[in-house]
């Protein structure tokens, strides 16, 4: 995580705390998001099977690695949205 990403994340968490009027931390958000994606496992697997094959690039290739991360983000987002549409 870059320093800018860390600052953005800290601001995001602070905004959640202010809006909710309660303490929020990354551990809580990680547990919540882990539960959400684990509940969507079948939908995520379906997205992986129907999409372009994923190949992890070298960690030293920052542009390719950013594309790889974005591919995973799109997979998870589509799966979660489809799951939510069925609810």
63 plus 27 within the same structural domain = no
Q: Per the structure block, which two tokens stand in for 52?
A: 């372009």
Structural domain range at position 52: 40-87
48 plus 80 within the same structural domain = yes
1 plus 23 within the same structural domain = yes
pLDDT tens per residue across span 8-67: 999 999 999 999 999 999 999 999 999 999 999 999 999 999 988 899 999 999 999 999
Residue 81 to residue 15: CA distance in whole angstroms: 24
Sign of CA dihedral 52, 35, 77, 61: negative
Model pTM above 0.75: yes
Burial of residue 29 (number of CB atoms within 10 Å: 0-12, 13-18, 19+):
middle
Backbone angles phi and psi of 48, in degrees to 5:
-65, -45
């Amino acid at each position: 995580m870059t320093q800018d990403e860390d600052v953005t994340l800290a601001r995001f968490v602070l905004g959640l705390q202010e809006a909710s009027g309660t303490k929020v931390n990354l551990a809580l958000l990680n547990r919540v998001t882990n539960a959400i994606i684990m509940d969507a496992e079948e939908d995520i697997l379906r997205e992986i099977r129907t999409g372009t094959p994923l190949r992890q690039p070298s960690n030293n290739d920052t542009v390719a690695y950013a594309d790889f991360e974005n591919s995973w983000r799109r997979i998870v987002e589509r799966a979660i949205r489809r799951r939510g549409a069925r609810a």
